[in-house]
Amino acid sequence: MDAVAIVEDEVRELVRRRGLDPDREPSRLRSLVEDVVADYDERSLLGTLPPLPGAGVVKAVLDAVGGLGPLQEHLDDPEVEEIWINEPGKVFVARHGRPELTTTILTAERVADLVERMLKPSGRRVDLSSPFVDASLPDGSRLHVVIPDVTRRHWAVNIRKFVVRADRLEDLVALGTLTARAAAFLEAAVHAGLNVLVSGGTQAGKTTLLNCLAAAVPPRSRVVTCEEVFELKVPLRDVVGLQCRQPSLEGTGEIPLRRLVKEALRMRPDRLVVGEVRQEESLDLLIALNSGLPGMATLHANSAREAVAKMCTLPLLAGENVSSRFVVPTVAASVDLVVHVALDRDGRRAVREVVAVPGRVEEGVVEVADVFTTAGGVLVRADGFPPHADRFERAGHDLAALLGDG
């Protein structure tokens, strides 16, 4: 056994004896580790113990006992956006949207131990009866785990870090994700109470953009968010966050996203923000938006037009009594803007288009109009106009000036 492993075992034994909680008492844990390392250093001078390797021992032991061991260095790296494990010997990270195979080598037992430790704060579980799990880590990162026999052989683990590079739309402008004119328009649209969908692919930056849009909500508004697991961090004073709950061991107590949307309407919201719509909860969102409650949500789509088409089909999953004759005109009347964001090959995230939904339906297809579009790699003004110009005026915004048409 090497020196670091010996120190780690001694620290674990002392933690157990003293009843110390590494998650809640990090300062006490650090002090304990430093004392054990110093004591071991003195004993190793007698030649009966292998010497410590030098610098970094305290952090290595802290990571092993109070952190996530070999994964902690990737979690601490601000450039790493996501970590995933395909098998114990293949640990990947993504930096600026680009995947990299790391030199981190684990064992199957270590992966299971790490997952158990990550799930402990959330109270969620993963086992044969529930082979999938979604959970939030204490730092806001999102954990997703799948185990055999759903996977072929090894546990598949994904940790999507909540890398806060932007809190507001002006931060996205500084990052080059959005132009200043488009940001000013979107901020005014949110302030005026328009309903906004954010579309894009995986890791395109939908949640970050949604969070920045939500930050443009008037400061005295009450915002209720609904998510599968907590990811949004809306920087406003009056915010209530709701997340789904998995069923218990008896298969009871599950709270799906659709239930959260319904409950949110009873909480006096001025704005409703849904992290991502995937299935039948889209119907409840549409009904809420159609009732006059301003809201926002994200969904996976390859373009803004495909996002509108998807919103016309997802509510049909709610039941056979829901027909496209109801859904299509409701989408046209409820959705005002669609903002599409994409991840470039070089890892840069950028808003590709902002599309308006004027409210018209032609032969079962919702009409749309480009407000901003990409030309030559730059987001530029198109010839379309958003609906509800009167709302902009009432909110004190000059729509023509915002669009550069004045």
Q: Hey, how many other C-beta atoms are within 10 angstroms of the C-beta on 105? A: 11
Q: Identify whether the C-beta of residue 115 lies closer than 8 Å to the C-beta of residue 126.
A: yes
Closest by CA position to 130, among listed 111, 153, 146? 146
Q: Which fold has domain 169-403?
A: Rossmann fold (3.40.50)
Contacts 24+ apart (CB under 8 A), 34-43: 34/58, 36/7, 36/10, 36/11, 36/61, 37/7, 37/61, 40/3, 40/6, 40/7, 40/10
Give ranges for CATH 3.30.450.90 in the chain.
69-163
- State residue 98's pLDDT score: 87
Closest by CA position to 6, among listed 36, 45, 42, 46? 36
Q: Give the mean pLDDT of 285-298.
A: 94
- State residue 1's pLDDT score: 59
Contacts of 85 (CB under 8 A, 6+ apart): 91, 92, 106, 111, 154, 155, 156, 157
Whether the per-residue pLDDT at 42 is higher than 80: the answer is yes
Mean pLDDT of all residues in the chain? 91
In the chain, the largest separation of any two C-alpha atoms, in whole Å, equals 87
Question: Out of 17-31, 177-191, 202-216, 220-234, which region has the weakest mean confidence (pLDDT)?
Answer: 17-31
Give ranges for CATH 3.40.50.300 in the chain.
169-403
Q: CA 193: distance to chain centroid?
A: 23
Question: Out of 55-69, 227-241, 268-282, which region has the weakest mean confidence (pLDDT)?
Answer: 55-69
Three-state DSSP class for 174? helix
What tokens does 160 get? 């999507």
Q: Identify whether the C-beta of residue 167 lies closer than 8 Å to the C-beta of residue 177.
A: no
The secondary structure of residue 296, as a DSSP letter, is E
- We find that the CATH architecture of domain 69-163 is 2-Layer Sandwich (3.30)
Whether the per-residue pLDDT at 47 is higher than 80: the answer is no
Q: Identify whether the C-beta of residue 195 lies closer than 8 Å to the C-beta of residue 336.
A: yes
What is the C-alpha separation between 257 and 275, in angstroms, rounded? 10
- Percentage of residues of the chain with pLDDT beyond 90: 67
Whether the per-residue pLDDT at 406 is higher than 90: the answer is no
